[in-house]
Amino acid sequence: MDQPDRNLTNIDAPSAFRDRIASMDDDGKRKWVFPRKPSGRFYNARTWFSYLLLAIMFSGPFITINGRPFLLLNIIERKFIILGMAFWPQDSFIFVLATLTFVVGILLFTVIFGRLFCGWACPQTIFLEMVFRKIEYLIDGNANKQRKLKAQKWNAEKIFKRVSKHAIFWALSFIIGNTFLAYIIGKDELFEIITSPVSEHAGGFAIMVLFTTIFYYVYASFREQICTQICPYGRLQSVLLDDKSIVVAYDFNRGEKRGSPKKKSADELGDCIDCNQCVEVCPTGIDIRNGTQLECVNCTACIDACDTVMDKVKRPRGLIRYDSFNGIRTGEKLSLNFRNIGYSAVLVALTVFFFILLVTRSDVESTILRSYGTMYQDIGNNHFTNLYTVKVLNKTFDDLPIHFELQEPVGVLKMVGSDLKVSGQDKTEGAFFVDLSGDLLEGTETKLKITVHSGERLLETVKTSFMGPRK
């Protein structure tokens, strides 16, 4: 975002801070970030909200609806259960629509609320800031003690703290990794892998170790680099944010010029006393006073730190706050614009259509085709037959008896063998003949309408064609 013309002490080189990532030095080497432990109203609210999300995530694989998983995304076996309802690859259009709705929702959300999701609900932020860093503060101490520990030579104290911390990190990574694995293969399969000898589930065990290793590396070493170098959402925000997007922002009108009131007259200075507490507490190492940056995940740590300082110097809170750039520059309140209204309308339409598809989705999916390579049969008395093959996919978890009825035109449908019965979450095949009078034929192809039933319940209606002689 462009800054208005003003004489600020921190913008002698306005774009200098954008030439490099805050956690990298001039040679491109990693600069380890040691953020000061945050505290304050926003941090407390984020903590409790994170605990709620963590409780939902860890309990998700073990929640069942009518004996079925609450959520299962078994890509390997192409088995998907969402909210207790089974979905198959044949329901791909529903997944496509759900993905499209999610993407539009992300776009809309980012345009209006910036990276609010990153700071409050992103798993990377929640695990790193609310789990792993808390353990790190408990074992290694505050930011200054962590710096000293990193710089000191290896001794009994350092070895004990490093081994203890990383052992806990590995154990947590094991729990997190296997929780995500349970969402893919199911809790029963996961328990079987854990409790059985490794030789019986070598592949599953290897996947468990892989998941654990990935999570351990991310939270023990890679950390905030995920947000700046891998996550596409951080890059996406640069083209979605505008002057009216709500972000964590520094009020430069109120804060500049910076300086200590002990050294300069209060009339010459703004409210920012240049204490750098907002920088010290930032988990990505940026200075929020430079404006919105790629590394900023809107975690609110700088808001809490600044509010604490403002309380001590007896100045109003909100020098750093949730606001838009336009709101800080002009005092204008957030308002809907044409783009926000357009995104909202599209999102509502997609959401409504998505739920209509879910509600109207059939419990079975039948495919009825004339047998490959066969022609019509003339059985005399101006009657003709076609042989059809049928495939029935049962999307429910119950065993269903299936029978077919010819609705249009009037004729006879006769199964080859007995009526079909398809088990829950399974599919079956069969065949039947359709007998029509020649007087009803419309030429070489006549449209048929066949209904699929389970007992007295109509499941779906399928249309196909009947081949007859040329008239």
Residue 122 and residue 168 in one domain: yes
Res 322 pLDDT > 50: yes
Residue 382 and residue 310 in one domain: no
In three-state secondary structure terms, 466 is strand
- Which one of 361, 381, 404 terminates a domain? 361
Sign, CA torsion 270/274/280/282: positive
What lies within 8 Å, CB to CB, of 303 at 6+ separation is 40, 42, 248, 320, 321, 322
Q: Across residues 60-77, what is the average pLDDT?
A: 81
Task: Name the residue range of residue 435's domain.
Answer: 364-467
Residue 311 and residue 383 in one domain: no
Please tell me the predicted confidence (pLDDT) of residue 15. Answer: 55
Residue 264 and residue 372 in one domain: no
Residue 357 and residue 455 in one domain: no
Residue 66 and residue 172 in one domain: yes
- Helix (H) / strand (E) element for 236: namely helix 232-240
Q: Across residues 124-148, what is the average pLDDT?
A: 95
Residue 272 and residue 319 in one domain: yes
Please tell me the predicted confidence (pLDDT) of residue 54. Answer: 95
Model confidence at 264, in pLDDT bands (50, 70, 90)? low
Burial 197-222 (b: 16+ CB within 10 A, else e): eeeebeebbebbeebbeebbebbbeb
Number of domains in the chain: 2
Q: Across residues 170-186, what is the average pLDDT?
A: 91
CATH number at residue 369: 2.60.40.10
Please tell me the predicted confidence (pLDDT) of residue 114. Answer: 86
How far is 392 from 386, CA to CA, in rounded Å? 19
The fraction of the chain above a pLDDT of 90, given in percent, is: 40
Residue 254 and residue 374 in one domain: no
Give pLDDT tens digits for 307-320.
999 999 999 999 99
Model confidence at 10, in pLDDT bands (50, 70, 90)? very low
pTM summary value: 0.78
Q: Across residues 168-178, what is the average pLDDT?
A: 94
Res 272 pLDDT > 60: yes
